[in-house]
Amino acid sequence: MVSKEKIQFGCAPIAWTNDDLPELGRENSFEQCISEMALAQYTGTEIGNKYPKDPKVLRRYLEPRNLQVASAWFSAFLTTKPYVETKEAFARHRDFLYEMGAKVIVVSEQGLSIQGQMNTPLFKKKPVFTDSEWNKLTTGLDALGELALEKGMKIVYHHHMGTGVQTTEEIDRLMESTDPEKVSLLYDTGHLVFSGEDLGEVYHKHQSRIKHIHFKDIREEVAKEVKENDDSFLTAVKKGAFTVPGDGMIDFKPLLRNFYDNDYNGWIIVEAEQDPARANPFEYALKAKKYIDGIIPQNFSLSS
């Protein structure tokens, strides 16, 4: 039986204020965001652009709400910039998360990424790394992993739509070409399904290296429209391709069963980049939590 400390459930602030599209949720405050997370009974959060950057200040807000920092996104540019630039930025990011008690650091390679380009077709213009770029990426990630280990932390690589590591084949190559002791994997349900990957295949191939999980769902008809219309990633977000668990096409029950059965130890973060004017963040966060609570295997304990 898995103890309740093994799996913890958190929520990402991107539903309240979008980092890539700051106009989405500009009106929502940091305090509203974390208060509504707590009200929906999550115990963790990732870091958004409105969060205080001083660990002491941030703790004063989070602790009364029983919220911990699970991790935070870091943009790497290992394929396009000198390693030292990424190293210096990463070290600052690592030290902040260490002060906040996080155990993992979310890393995504943004060199050549099209995810932030409003008019670039998501599927037709997806970047594909050369062998030289792959070498820069994997050796750089191993080096960042060493820096994380200095603080007893791990990097978890975030495969992402519109980047050079999106597909099953690309995830496989990344895992095969990096040191398992230095580079772990973030498993994001929404990005895998949107990309057309098989959730079970990716999980079973790499379950020993999955150290962080994002639970997001997909609205099937919107995702289909995005592909047919050659829309960009940002347009997909605005149209509502992503949603929370229990509101889209993914059956999360067998996934959750796998995580418990295989003794997953870490955070599961509910994340859905949506327009908060169209999808009330609190209502959707609560909807996801109720859905997840309802599919927790009955012989296991909930973490919150």
Each residue's pLDDT tens digit in the chain (304 positions)? 444 568 999 999 999 999 899 899 999 999 999 999 999 999 999 999 999 999 999 999 999 999 999 999 999 999 999 999 999 999 999 999 999 999 999 999 999 999 999 999 999 999 999 999 999 999 999 999 999 999 999 999 999 999 999 999 999 999 999 999 999 999 999 999 999 999 999 999 999 999 999 999 999 999 999 999 999 999 999 999 999 999 999 999 999 999 999 999 999 999 999 999 999 999 999 999 999 999 997 655 444 4
With vertex at residue 209, the alpha carbon angle to CA 208 and CA 213, rounded to the nearest 5 degrees, is 105
The two tokens of residue 277 are 């004017």
Backbone angles phi, psi at 242, to 5 degrees: -100, 145
Question: How would CATH label the architecture of 7-295?
Answer: Alpha-Beta Barrel (3.20)
Which whole-number Å values give the CA distances from 177 to 1, 39, 148, 155, 182, in the listed order? Answer: 34, 42, 18, 15, 11
At position 227, the amino acid (one-letter code) is K
Residue type, 109: E
State whether the Cα torsion 289-159-30-97 is positive or negative: positive
Q: How many CB atoms lie within 10 A of CB 202?
A: 22
| Rounded Cα gap, residues 277 and 39, in angstroms | 20
**Cα(18)–Cα(279) distance, rounded to whole angstroms?**
13
For CA atoms 301, 34, 18, 86, give the dihedral sign: negative
Q: What is the pLDDT of residue 3?
A: 47
The rounded radius of gyration (Å) of the Cα atoms in the chain is: 18
Alpha carbon 189 to chain centroid distance? 9
Long-range contacts of 175-178 (CB under 8 A, 24+ apart): 175/205, 175/206, 175/209, 177/134, 177/138, 178/138, 178/141, 178/142, 178/145
Assess contact for 64 and 39: CB atoms under 8 A: no
Q: How far apart are CA 196 and CA 168, in angstroms?
A: 9
Are 114 and 231 spatial neighbours (Cβ–Cβ below 8 Å)?
no
Q: Output the CA–CA distances (angstroms, integers) from residue 143 to 155, 171, 178, 247, 273, in the order listed.
A: 10, 18, 10, 39, 30
Residue 270 CB contacts under 8 Å (≥ 6 apart), including other chains: 9, 10, 11, 12, 42, 215, 216, 244, 245, 285, 288, 289, 292
Q: Which of 248, 252, 257 is nearest to 292 (CA)?
A: 252
